[in-house]
Amino acid sequence: MTYKYFLSGSPPFFDTVGDYFLNNFQENLDIQFSNAPDTYTIEEESPFASGSYVNTQVRINQAINTYTGLKLGDDFKNLLFKDLDHGSTIGSKFIFDNNTWLGINTETYKNFASGITIRRCNNNLRWIDVNGVTYIEPCIIDYNIALPRDEKTFSEIVTPKGIIVIYAQANGNTIKIKENQRFLFGPTDNRRAYRIFGDGIRNFLNIETSDDTSARLLRIEMGGNYINRDTDNLSLGIADYYNYTSASNVNNVVVDPDTFDILESASSIYNVRCYSGNTPISGSFVFTIYDDLVPTDHYAFSVIDANNFSIINNEIYLDNPLIILASNTSASRTININLRGAW
């Protein structure tokens, strides 16, 4: 019968209908891709989380909200790749238009085209580890601040409450970020401090269900916190910077005592010295009130000599700390004094 000759044909002629159309689609895409008006060459991090970038050709389309069907703004884009097997995943980073962009959703599983939805990184996570190594990682801070208000505890201490959500690539550096870690955001002259909640890290959004190392996107929730001028480097925008920088630096400014809470009607004398390693070195300081955040009737400030000053807490004040600037020709430090209640 004639069908026997048909069955004995060469196997390559027996591709499935799906394979046939897929191959034709890829061939057509190869021919027409570069002619599209929305085709651009951008930079893509490759390999993933390597910090190295290569040029890649993409089509950049407007992103669509999958829930409402409405077009999203300029902070969201959809990338289409020429190669249907392109390996971009959630958490992939791209650079174009003077911004870093982060992959937040992909269209690859059982899909006819290869694409990824990206979102513009609008800030950076900046931190320092216990070895004094600093890190900077592009991140997305969500637009809304949840619960933007202050809360007063039973002890009458006012604490900020605003909650922000942050997304960043899950990589060898960010995966080490811990609960309660603090970060600074905003312009140099008006930094804002936030602290990660005790259960505020989502580092387990796996790409592959049973592979606990496959997470590519990190989600962090933080709550409002206070600037600490003793430990935060406001110039670099790194919280707790001075907790981890080497104490062996010449002109490291040390304050004694290192407790800065003064109870109502009590007083404290502070000694300020420059140190080289563990050795005090000569040096006098000028002590001044750094700002006017605390009403003057709540405290009494006196300069004793070139290395000592005193503070008397006349009346509790919890809205802001009293900030003293100690400075000389080679070093300076701000000292936050908290005017507490009677206990």
Q: Each residue of 53-81: pLDDT tens digit?
A: 999 999 998 887 766 666 678 999 999 88
Q: Each residue of 256-289: pLDDT tens digit?
A: 888 889 999 999 999 998 876 667 777 889 999 8
What is the rounded CA–CA span in Å between residue 126 and residue 128?
Answer: 7
What is the rounded CA–CA span in Å between residue 320 and residue 95?
Answer: 41
What is the rounded CA–CA span in Å between residue 94 and residue 82?
Answer: 16
* DSSP H or E segment with residue 57: strand 53-62
CA 229 from centre of chain: 20
What is the rounded CA–CA span in Å between residue 219 and residue 201?
Answer: 6
Q: Which of residues 151 and 64 earns the better pLDDT score? A: 64
- At 300, the pLDDT band (50, 70, 90 cuts) reads very high
pTM, to two decimals = 0.63
Tell me the residue ranges of DSSP E strands in 76-229: 76-81, 93-96, 99-107, 115-120, 123-128, 134-141, 150-152, 158-160, 163-169, 182-185, 192-202, 217-225
Which residue has 């300081």 as its token pair?
Answer: 285
From 42-46, 176-180, 243-247, 293-297, the region with the lowest mean pLDDT: 243-247
Judged against a pLDDT cut of 50, whether residue 6 lies above it is answered with no
What backbone phi and psi angles, to 5 degrees, belong to 2? -65, -25
- At 239, the pLDDT band (50, 70, 90 cuts) reads very high
Torsion of CA 21, 60, 73, 96, to 10 degrees: 150
What is the rounded CA–CA span in Å between residue 319 and residue 296?
Answer: 14
Judged against a pLDDT cut of 90, whether residue 192 lies above it is answered with yes
Judged against a pLDDT cut of 70, whether residue 101 lies above it is answered with yes
Judged against a pLDDT cut of 50, whether residue 168 lies above it is answered with yes
- At 211, the pLDDT band (50, 70, 90 cuts) reads very high
Q: Which of residues 343 and 91 earns the better pLDDT score? A: 91
Q: Each residue of 108-136: pLDDT tens digit?
A: 555 555 789 999 999 999 998 877 778 99
What is the percent of the chain where pLDDT is above 90? 45
pLDDT value of position 244? 73
pLDDT value of position 323? 87
Judged against a pLDDT cut of 60, whether residue 19 lies above it is answered with no
- b/e string for 213-236 if b means 16 or more Cβ within 10 A? eebbbbbbbbbbbebbbbbbbbee
Give me the mean pLDDT over the 333-340 stretch. 87
Three-class secondary structure of residue 12 per DSSP = helix
Judged against a pLDDT cut of 60, whether residue 311 lies above it is answered with yes
CA 17 from centre of chain: 48
